[in-house]
């Protein structure tokens, strides 16, 4: 399967690079307007999100016409190959709209339900994060060679810088705010960067020490979850696997303690 997965990884990165270049070129100065909203009036999608997903779907489909596709904006298309592409064309859409420099293209490739390859391209900086299951996670900046990612661990949980995010639905957001308030008493600080994909990459490369969020969709999590795991980060949810109800990520030395704290704080 290695050759097949390596091919999927190549196809993903080619599509993600093209989409990131399109997003950079297409973004006008100032604030970008929402074309429509989804789960709430503050859950936007722009015409550029939609066009980027179309570009990714066409780029992948040209090489893999029999694969399934699940995109944040265009929904799901069944395939017959056992491979499904799980795509967020712009993760961090609100950041994109406001011109806050943290939004990314996220593409994961599932084979029979398991994410085997993934990539995330920061559409502002061009930083590329890639992973193949069992073969490690890598980060590449500019023309440099990809560098292997190995998650760092803080000396203690009280020194942990924790990434998080809040849901677009206000009642869920209020619950999360209470949980984060409790969490703050036990960690160094939090960062709310606005992109789950980039937050998971940040834990993988040590720019964050841990991450917790509720409400992530498969496309937020597919590539970032693989990249984090392949860098030595443990992920979990209410059970062993992260999901929409809860996603927790931390390096092994603090993982158990952080997971207990997250549940104690009410996530």
Note the residues at the interface with ligand LIP (CB under 6 A): 72, 88, 91-93, 165-166, 168, 194-196, 213, 220
Give the shortest CB-92-to-ligand LIP separation in angstroms: 5
**Based on CB atoms, which residue is closest to ligand LIP, 46 or 130?**
46
CA distance 201 to 255: 17
Tokens of 28: 């006008």
**Based on CB atoms, which residue is closest to ligand LIP, 173 or 188?**
173
**Based on CB atoms, which residue is closest to ligand LIP, 212 or 255?**
212
Q: Phi first, then psi: what are they for 251, rounded to 5°?
A: -65, 155
**Based on CB atoms, which residue is closest to ligand LIP, 98 or 257?**
98
**Based on CB atoms, which residue is closest to ligand LIP, 196 or 223?**
196
Please give the angle made by the CA atoms of 175, 180 and 185, to the nearest 5 degrees: 140
Give the shortest CB-76-to-ligand LIP separation in angstroms: 16
**Based on CB atoms, which residue is closest to ligand LIP, 64 or 267?**
267
H-helix segments, the chain: 2-26, 47-63, 93-98, 170-184, 196-205, 218-230, 252-264
Give the shortest CB-197-to-ligand LIP separation in angstroms: 6
Which residues, in sequence order, are bridge partners of residue 85? 69, 109
Please give the angle made by the CA atoms of 63, 64 and 65, to the nearest 5 degrees: 110
CA distance 34 to 91: 14
Using Cβ positions, the residue closest to ligand LIP within the complex turns out to be 165
Closest by CA to 135, choosing from 144, 146, 148, 145, is 148
Do 248 and 236 form a contact (C-beta atoms < 8 A)?
yes
Give the shortest CB-213-to-ligand LIP separation in angstroms: 6
Q: What is the Rg, in whole angstroms, of the alpha carbon atoms belonging to the chain?
A: 17
Give the shortest CB-88-to-ligand LIP separation in angstroms: 5
Give the shortest CB-17-to-ligand LIP separation in angstroms: 19
Give the shortest CB-248-to-ligand LIP separation in angstroms: 13
**Based on CB atoms, which residue is closest to ligand LIP, 72 or 111?**
72
- Tell me the C-alpha to C-alpha distance, in Å, between residue 250 and each of 94, 131, 151, 184, 209: 25, 18, 9, 16, 6
């Amino acid at each position: 399967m290695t050759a097949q997965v390596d091919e999927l990884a190549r196809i993903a990165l080619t599509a993600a690079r093209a989409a990131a270049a399109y997003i950079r070129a297409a973004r006008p100065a100032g604030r970008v307007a929402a074309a429509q909203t989804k789960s709430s009036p503050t859950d936007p999608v722009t015409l550029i999100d939609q066009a980027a997903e179309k570009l990714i779907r066409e780029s992948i489909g040209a090489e893999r016409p029999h694969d399934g596709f699940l995109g944040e904006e265009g929904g799901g298309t069944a395939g017959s190959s056992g491979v499904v592409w799980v795509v967020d064309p712009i993760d961090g859409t609100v950041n994109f709209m406001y011109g806050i420099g943290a939004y990314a293209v996220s593409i994961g490739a599932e084979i029979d339900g398991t994410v085997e390859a993934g990539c995330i391209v920061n559409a502002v900086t061009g930083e590329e994060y890639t992973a193949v299951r069992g073969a490690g996670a890598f980060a590449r900046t500019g023309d440099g060679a990809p560098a292997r990612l190995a998650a760092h661990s803080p000396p203690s949980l009280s020194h942990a810088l924790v990434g998080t995010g809040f849901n677009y639905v206000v009642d869920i957001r209020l619950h999360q705010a209470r949980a984060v308030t409790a969490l703050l008493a036990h960690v160094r600080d939090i960062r709310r960067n606005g992109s789950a994909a980039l937050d998971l990459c940040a834990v993988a490369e040590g720019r964050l020490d841990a991450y917790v969020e509720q409400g992530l969709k498969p496309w937020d999590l597919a590539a970032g979850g693989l990249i984090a795991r392949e860098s030595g980060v443990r992920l979990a949810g209410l059970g062993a696997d992260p999901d929409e109800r809860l996603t927790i990520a931390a390096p092994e030395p603090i993982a158990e303690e952080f997971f207990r704290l997250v549940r104690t704080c009410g996530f």
